[in-house]
Copies of this chain bind each other. A is one copy, B any other.
Amino acid sequence: MRLTQFTDNALRCLTFLALSADELNTAREIAQRMGMSADHLVKVVQRLTQLGYVETIRGWKGGVRLAQPPESIVVGEVVRQTEQSFALVACFETGDGGCPIAPACGLAPALDEALQAFLAVLDRYTLADLTRERRRLRDLIAD
């Protein structure tokens, strides 16, 4: 069981920006310092901008920063918004992958309840909670 790389990179990017406070970093710099592909990160920054988590300052000294305080960015919400699908199994797919008993099977409702419990835990965490060890984290991303 795994989140998509997109969600992983989105959380990693937001965490980096929370540690950078008002400093501006380009997507390339963030990618380099956080061990991500720059191409992936450009798409992640675009999506996080659409979602209102990130803002881009243009110009030769420009870059990216958080558009909200870390205390107001809820991890569960970010995961809901960046994860493409929460179809944990192929139950409701049609065609070859589809399961003939899906209409009456108790698995999908049980998995949905489990998923809601998963997300409810992440709703209790903000970006500020992920970056409590601020000094140690900043040392880890220092050049």
What is A's interface to B at a CB cutoff of 8 Å? 1-5, 7-8, 11-12, 15-16, 19, 33-35, 75, 83, 85-90, 96-101, 103-107, 110-111, 113-115, 117-122, 125, 129-133, 136-137, 140-141
Chain A binding surface, main DSSP class: helix
Find out whether the CB atom of A89 lies under 8 angstroms from the CB atom of B11: yes
A141 CA / B101 CA spacing, docked (Å): 7
Chain B residues lying within 8 Å of A115, measured Cβ to Cβ, are 1, 118
Interface residue from B34, B99, B111 paired with A101 (Cβ < 8 Å): B34
Q: Which residue of B lies closest to A125 (CB)?
A: B110
Find out whether the CB atom of B89 lies under 8 angstroms from the CB atom of A106: no
Known: A2-B85, A88-B2, A104-B136. A12 touches B110 (CB 8 A): no
